[in-house]
Amino acid sequence: MRAKEIVEKSGFKVKLSKNIFSNKNGYSNSAKEKADDINDMFRDKDVKMIWCAKRW
């Protein structure tokens, strides 16, 4: 997770979503998992920025 390391070295704290490594569709998580993840982040008062990333 090189991107995580780079962001942390820039002084940010990184919080990964609970479904980040899910692979229900063979290439990504399900629509429900994606929705759950982003809604959880919006509800978390400690989260100041949401950065959606794609794994290649």
8 A C-beta contact, residue 41 and residue 47: yes
Mind spelling out the 3-state secondary structure of the chain? Answer: CHHHHHHHHCCCCCCCCCCCCCCCCCCCCCHHHHHHHHHHHHHCCCCCCCCCCCCC
Q: pLDDT tens, 1-56?
A: 788 899 999 999 999 999 888 887 676 788 899 999 999 999 999 999 998 876 65
What's the confidence (pLDDT) of residue 14?
Answer: 94
| Residue 49 zone, left/alpha/beta (φ > 0; ψ -120 to 50; rest) | beta
